[in-house]
């Protein structure tokens, strides 16, 4: 009987699929803490398959502890928590869970834009403490999104889903990525292809939808903040290290930009205390795909990929080129 280690709590839907396939399941079931490297290394020694949440680091040391390992199924669309190249050198495929997070992450991104523009978090704090004396013409003014310019850096599935939603808000949409979309898609989304520099300089709101790679590390930093509009806002529901957070904090404090909405962090799960003191920042705890619908779909992918490998079939969404 093949053995599966699940390195964190995931939806019951996945466990049912694995049990129905007759697999021996070992689940790290502590709801209060992440699995440590030592614990992961101990449990993985006799396992054939590893299902791991995005928050768990799987490096070469861990991989070397598992001589029988045939698959690393990452429970998340990203995979920067895994040494994918080392896994490839060992002939171990690494899979992720793309696509199913699209709707949820796009909705959270749009929610951050709305919350920032209309100062909703500030309003919530106000009402929970001192309250207000009543409606007044110049009281607590924010900004409408209609006819503002939205710059989308990274126009994959999530970027396009954001464009679709914000086009309905009558926003003017600029986007950039390696390849331009076809004219029909651009027309449907109301989106115009341009450069990153153009977006940095001209967008009222910039949202990031890129993976964390050496090329994207700190691609938004001090130089970019100096070029942005003083009224601009930055949204990140992609990966924390894309932004130089120290430079972002300085830009916010010095009013180089007007605000930021962050769902991911450079040193996650740590959040810089400086951001917590700023009224023009909305902070959420990496909830981009935190919906029942998305997480169940992710669970199904990792479980079915594990069952497929156990049967000798090819898993879906292999990201390190191992056949």
Q: Which of 39, 122, 268, 300 is catalytic?
A: 268
User: Which structure tokens are listed for 196?
Assistant: 């990153």
Q: Which of 209, 239, 266, 295 is catalytic?
A: 239
95, 319 Cβ separation under 8 angstroms: yes
Instruction: Report the chain's C-alpha Rg in angstroms.
Output: 22
Spatial distance between the Cα atoms of 68 and 78, rounded to a whole number of angstroms? 24
For residue 118, indicate whether it is catalytic. Answer: no
For residue 122, indicate whether it is catalytic. Answer: no
Spatial distance between the Cα atoms of 282 and 234, rounded to a whole number of angstroms? 10
Give me the helices (H) in the chain, please: 12-20, 37-43, 60-64, 84-89, 102-117, 120-128, 157-167, 183-189, 196-202, 222-227, 245-253, 273-276, 292-310
Give the number of residues written for the chain: 323
Spatial distance between the Cα atoms of 302 and 284, rounded to a whole number of angstroms? 26
Question: Residue 208: beta bridge partners?
Answer: 153, 236
Q: In what order do the strands lie in the sheet with 24-27?
A: 24-27, 3-6, 49-53, 71-75, 94-95
User: Which structure tokens are listed for 321?
Assistant: 């080129």
For residue 239, indicate whether it is catalytic. Answer: yes
Spatial distance between the Cα atoms of 183 and 76, rounded to a whole number of angstroms? 31
Spatial distance between the Cα atoms of 234 and 259, rounded to a whole number of angstroms? 7
Q: Which of 43, 119, 209, 286 is catalytic?
A: 286
Q: Give the Cβ contact number of residue 220 at 10 Å.
A: 24
241 secondary structure, DSSP code? G
156 secondary structure, DSSP code? S
User: Which structure tokens are listed for 262?
Assistant: 């962050």
Q: Which residue has the tokens 């996945």?
A: 14
User: Which structure tokens are listed for 68?
Assistant: 């029988």
Q: Which residues are known catalytic residues?
A: 239, 268, 286
């Amino acid at each position: 009987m093949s053995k599966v280690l699940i390195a964190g709590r995931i939806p019951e839907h996945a466990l049912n699929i694995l049990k129905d396939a007759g697999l021996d399941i070992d689940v790290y079931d502590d709801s209060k803490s992440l699995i440590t490297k030592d614990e992961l290394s101990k449990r993985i020694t006799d396992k054939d398959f590893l299902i791991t949440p995005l928050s768990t680091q799987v490096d070469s040391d861990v991989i070397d502890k598992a001589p029988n390992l045939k698959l690393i199924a990452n429970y998340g669309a990203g995979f920067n928590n895994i040494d994918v190249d080392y896994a490839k050198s060992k002939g171990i495929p690494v899979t992720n869970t793309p696509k199913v997070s699209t709707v949820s992450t796009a909705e959270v991104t749009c929610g951050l834009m709305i919350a920032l523009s209309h100062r909703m978090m500030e309003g919530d704090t106000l009402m929970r403490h001192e309250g207000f004396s009543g409606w007044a013409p110049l009281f607590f003014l924010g900004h409408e999104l209609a006819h503002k310019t939205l710059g989308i850096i990274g126009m994959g599935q999530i970027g396009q889903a954001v464009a679709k939603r914000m086009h309905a808000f009558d926003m003017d949409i600029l986007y950039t990525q390696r390849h331009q979309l076809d004219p029909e898609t651009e027309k449907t989304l109301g989106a115009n292809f341009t450069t990153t520099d153009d977006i940095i300089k001209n967008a009222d709101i910039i949202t990031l939808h890129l993976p964390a790679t050496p090329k994207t590390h700190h691609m938004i930093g001090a130089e970019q903040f100096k070029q942005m509009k003083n009224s601009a806002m930055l949204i990140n529901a992609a990966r924390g290290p894309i932004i130089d957070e120290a430079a972002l904090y300085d830009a916010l404090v010095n009013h180089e930009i007007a605000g930021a909405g962050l769902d991911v962090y450079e040193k996650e799960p740590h959040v810089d205390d400086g951001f917590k003191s700023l009224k023009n920042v909305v902070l959420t705890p990496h909830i981009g795909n935190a919906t029942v619908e998305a997480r169940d779909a992710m669970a199904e992918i990792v479980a079915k990929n594990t069952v497929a490998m156990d049967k000798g079939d090819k898993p879906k969404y292999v990201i390190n080129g191992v056949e």
